[in-house]
Amino acid sequence: MSEASQDQAPRGGRRFGTGEMFDGIAERYDLLNRVISLGLDQGWRRRAVRSLELSPGATVLDLATGTADLAIAIARAHEVKVIGVDPSQGMLGVGRRKVEAAGLAGRVELEVGDAQQLQLGDASVDAISMAFGIRNVPDRARALREMARVTRPGGRIAILELSEPRSGLMGKLARFHIHTVVPYVGGAISGKDEYRYLQDSIARFPPPDEFAELMRGAGLRVLRVEPLTMGVVCLFVATPEGA
């Protein structure tokens, strides 16, 4: 979500993009993702997992882990330890049930935390993933600096984020989906109006080249920026500068 929209208060007093807001939609969050993304979100996560280029025994930090979809995908694909961090207790509660059901409780740990102030030492993790969460961070540059700090030299950082194509037929279709379909379907399924913030947050998120420049300014060397599904989503892959 954009910094501007975070200051708005949805019904019930929860601020957009906060852990409190996501507590309110946690039980329907996975269904909403499947419907709103037309079922494509799991494939996007698999692409992010591959981009981490993990070795057995690695420690991976999954920021904005939510209901642990990406954390589970990483642990299923590789014999690694995953630490999932999120500000929403409600989302983590759903995630813990999913981790237990997947038989991954020994390798996936979920805890409350803030991407802007990680409780981890320098160069303490081998890789970082983050799916559809950087929009919701008030100080994105600070969060990116934290990623650069806690990732070991040569480790990979993979960030997935929604994007709004700016031109062409796909751009028109994507804008219609974001501005009309997402708020209507999200509200209908969840019974809450918080999902209406998506149209604003996606539109306000910087274009891929600008966000890549923000990453560079935070001490990351951007390895590639990969548009997915004709630019509806972007995968940013980086490593700490100097690695």
Binding-site annotation: residue ranges:
67, 86, 114-115
CA distance 243 to 232: 30
Alpha helices by DSSP H, the chain = 3-6, 19-25, 29-36, 41-51, 69-77, 89-101, 140-150, 168-176, 182-190, 197-204, 208-217
3-class state of residue 116 by DSSP: coil
Which residues, including other chains, have CB under 8 Å from residue 45's CB and lie 6 or more apart?
69, 70, 73, 131, 160
Indicate the annotated binding residues for S-adenosyl-L-methionine: 67, 86, 114-115
CB contact at 8 A, 113 and 89: no
Strand ranges across the sheet with 125-131: 108-112, 81-86, 59-63, 125-131, 151-162, 233-240, 220-228
Report strand pairing: 125-131 vs 59-63: parallel
Taking residue 197's Cβ as centre, other Cβ atoms within 10 Å add up to: 24
CB contact at 8 A, 64 and 131: yes
CA distance 100 to 118: 25
In eight-state DSSP terms, residue 178 is I
Which residues, including other chains, have CB under 8 Å from residue 176's CB and lie 6 or more apart?
none
